Structure 1
Amino acid sequence: MACWVAVDLSRQSLEIRNDAPSGSRDAPPPAASSDALVHACAISSGLNGIGELDGSGCTPTGWHVIRAAIGAGNPRGAVYRGRRFTGEVFTPELALEHPERDWILTRILWLSGRELGVNRGRNARGERVDSLRRYIYFHGTPSTEPMGVAASHGCIRLRDDDLLRLFAEAVPGTPVLLHA
């Protein structure tokens, strides 16, 4: 059975599920039964909180879909800039050489909003709220970065093992609900 992904931004957690997608941006899905829950893990979302505006540094809410899966075949710890593998593999020494970088590692699952005017296109005031154009991803992060607390620039950070599991289960087209 195809899976879907539920991300609880208030609890900083992610579930890969194989039951029918349900819930909304303001109403979380019902708890997954033990046989519907494929995998659960901690995440780190936007330090600036929840929001859809371009440039806000917030993590958007609502229904999304995985638009692209980037990095298959690259090594664990592969470093990405502009969604391209730089040829580097993350090490603590590399981090010391580039302390200013917001590390995007291992794999990228690029999200596209499904709700016009909410997380896709522009809102009623004409402001861009498009998750795809905001470059909102699931991506890996160094093991020194915290999980379970909001600390990113709007993306959803995961540990490598959790990201690789998500990458294997959630192919392009997989529904994703980001809710508070």
Structure 2
Amino acid sequence: MQSSRFLSLPVRWLASLMLVSASLAAFPASANSYPLPPEGSRLIGQNFFHVVEDNGGSLEAIAKKYNVGFLALLQANPGVDPYVPRAGSVLTIPRQMLLPDAPRQGLVMNLAELRVYYYPAGKNSVTVYPIGIGQLGGDTVTPTMVTSVSDKRANPTWTPTANIRARYLANGIKLPAVVPAGPENPMGHHAIRLAAYGGVYLLHGTNADFGIGMRVSSGCIRLRDDDIKALYKEMPVGTPVRIINTAIKTSVEPDGRRLVEVHQPLSKHIDDDPKVLPIVLTEQMKQFQSAPETDASVMEQAMQHRSGMPIEVNAYGIASTEI
């Protein structure tokens, strides 16, 4: 039997809709910078709601409007039609999150949540961007690493590797040795090179409208064009970069709230279903779950639901999953 916390969520949606919808018209798609939370807190941002209009476009178009990833929007709204969302339906826009359990400096990328967090030096803020990462299989997987930015280039050329050219050729596409800058270049207008692995991994833009917040690349990290432009302008060479792969994040907030945010784990094999892949808990997370202050059953439901949004799991019980 489901907890009342999960059953009550749609009621909270409807009760909040009148208040939230009035603010949506003024909500800019690029508003992805947040003040850092106070000491001991990891919670940033606020979720929003979107009412699908007639001919309201695809889920990808809505994701782009609010600058969130496609899969993040899909996980937050299970059952929604990704191609033609039903007019009148209310979508949750997942713009609230827990900061990753990593140093708040430079660039922190969590592959499992398909987001990158940028902590600009000397500022008490963090900017969050949705990303596309490497596809499943072989040399296309984006690896975890601790590295730094080694180079930045505007209007980059693309030199596809032999493996990439072979994959394209198998689909009937013969790539040139070098793709010049321009509208046909899949790297977009800006590229940021990482030092690790001989510099083969980059953050770059795209000439496609689809794929941000998905596993679509040949191993590099893909951002929407406006996002990589902003990151390119602000982030200097030498910036530390940490790439992690964590499907679950927990936090005990200063006010006593115990929060858990669960994403679908990345598949390791073609037959894997990320909706049901086991989520491995660290020893610290096991202690969080078994603590008397945590409702372990609600946390278990959150691990099954995998909404990608912070869920309150306090043992005393509050009838809501929305923070």
**TM-score for both structures, normalised by structure 2:** 0.35
Does 1:164 find its partner at 2:257?
no
Aligned residue in 2 for 1:56: 139
Does 1:42 find its partner at 2:152?
no
Correspondence for 1:89 among 151, 166, 182:
182
SS of 1:147's partner is coil
Aligned residue in 2 for 1:97: none
Residues 38-70 of structure 1 show CA distances to partners (whole Å, capped at 9, x for unaligned) of x11100000127xxxxx6111121211111111
SS of 1:142's partner is coil
1:89, distance to aligned residue in structure 2 (A): 2.4
Query: 1:176, 1:168 → 2: CA distance?
Result: 16
8 Å CA contact retained: 1:44, 1:150:
yes
Correspondence for 2:113 among 11, 17, 27:
11
Residue-pair matches, total: 124
8 Å CA contact retained: 1:80, 1:105:
no
Aligned amino acid, residue 242 of structure 2? L
Correspondence for 2:148 among 45, 62, 65:
65
8 Å CA contact retained: 2:149, 2:241:
yes
More helix by share: 2
1:145, distance to aligned residue in structure 2 (A): 2.5
Structure 1 gap ranges (5+): 21-33, 50-54, 72-77, 95-101, 114-129
More strand by share: 1
Residues 86-138 of structure 1 show CA distances to partners (whole Å, capped at 9, x for unaligned) of 2x521xxx5xxxxxxx711111111012xxxxxxxxxxxxxxxx252xx1000
Structure ranking higher on relative contact order (CA contacts 8 Å, 6+ apart):
1
SS of 2:238's partner is coil
**TM-score for both structures, normalised by structure 1:** 0.61
Aligned amino acid, residue 187 of structure 2? I
Aligned residue in 2 for 1:175: 240
Correspondence for 2:206 among 122, 130, 141:
141
8 Å CA contact retained: 1:9, 1:45:
yes
Query: 2:241, 2:223 → 1: CA distance?
Result: 15
The 1:85/1:167 distance shift into structure 2, 3 A limit, reads: farther
1:4, distance to aligned residue in structure 2 (A): 0.6
Query: 1:167, 1:45 → 2: CA distance?
Result: 18
Query: 1:144, 1:168 → 2: CA distance?
Result: 22
Does 1:80 find its partner at 2:157?
yes
1:19, distance to aligned residue in structure 2 (A): 6.8
For the aligned residues, what is the CA RMSD? Answer: 2.7
Report matched runs for 1:100-119 at 5 Å: 103-113=186-196
